Amino acid sequence: MNKIAILCSGGDVSGMNPAIKRFVEYSFNQGLEPYFVYGGYEGLIDNIIKKAVYSDVTGIIHRGGTKIYSARSTRFTEKKYRQIAADNLNALGIDKLIILGGDGSLRGIDIFFQEHNIAFCGIPSTIDNDINGTQYCLGVDTALNVIKMATDNIRDTASSFKRAFVIEVMGRDCGYLALVSALTSGAEMCLIPEIAYDLDSLKKRYLKEVEQGRNYFIAIIAEGLGNTKEISSWFETEIGFESRVTTLGHIQRGGNPTVRERLMAYQFTTYAIDALLSGKRNTVICYNNANFDFKYINEINEKTYEIDKDLLALGKSLLQK
């Protein structure tokens, strides 16, 4: 029986457990013997690789995080440890891998493939949504819903006081989460690395809005800017509003996977297994314009992700109106 393994690498996301469940069930359906690699690339190196059975995935579809754990592996950046990982897979007769992870994880598996020719298919999995070649990464919808709920709750208390609430969201150097959250929550301010802003211009606009009756502000700031506290102070000194900072942090990475997340996990994983069975050896399953497509790993890694121009235009109008 052909053997296939799955691992999670880098930051966990809601959607990994539904993907793991589908992996086991669809592997058996296709006559494959599924294996779990526990702890990402670290597990490959330490040989924590175990055969999976149906009972392993019972009752996990609604859980955030990952049952098989994840890790950020510095050892995997060294050739000698990648050789150990390959030896462990070869000893078990595993010649197919599915990788759930972000851009760093995909760069790692690219090098591993070039050295050892072990077939893989990557599933983009990061709430940052910053992987080139795909408009959607697993985990994004759940993270956006966590931010939405938090922002809605903050707006309830903001409207009870003359205050500015500055909410910092994750995303590393990518402003996707902040931008979409701001647009869909009706925030008055959205600051992200991809859009230039002018605080003097915003000050004039906001003071005019206050004269017309605005009595609170919701500002959503991308963590990559590193200026959340400065913006909070700016609201107090320049706009005259008492200000509070809320850093959502790691609650954005957890939570019950949304319906869309579960369906995307199901589809991503099905296409990934089908790709390996059809002979594809070094691809990533991507989602663009409501369709799934495959890209070779070098296409993914050759450039950095850029937010859709139409979304950026909406963000600019939020700052410039």
Alpha-carbon distance 179 to 315, whole Å?
A: 6
101-138 in b/e form (b: 16+ CB < 10 A) is bbbebbebbbebbeeeebbbbbbbbbbbbbbbbbbbbb
Q: How far is CA 71 from CA 20, 51, 169, 205, 275, in A?
A: 16, 20, 22, 45, 25
What pairs with residue 3 in β-bridges? Answer: 33, 94
What pairs with residue 36 in β-bridges? Answer: 6, 50
Contact, 47 vs 286, CB < 8 A? Answer: no
140 burial class (0-12, 13-18, 19+ CB within 10 angstroms)? buried
Number of H helices, E strands in the chain: 11, 11
Residue 27: its H or E element: helix 16-29
Q: Which positions ≥6 away from 291 have C-beta within 8 Å?
A: none
Residue 128 annotated in active site: yes
Contact, 86 vs 248, CB < 8 A? Answer: no
Alpha-carbon distance 175 to 256, whole Å?
A: 23
- What is the chain's alpha carbon radius of gyration, rounded to the nearest angstrom? 22
Amino acid type, 176:
Y
Residue 114 DSSP symbol? H
Which of 128, 141, 198, 274 is labelled catalytic? 128
Alpha-carbon distance 146 to 253, whole Å?
A: 9
Catalytic residue annotation: 128
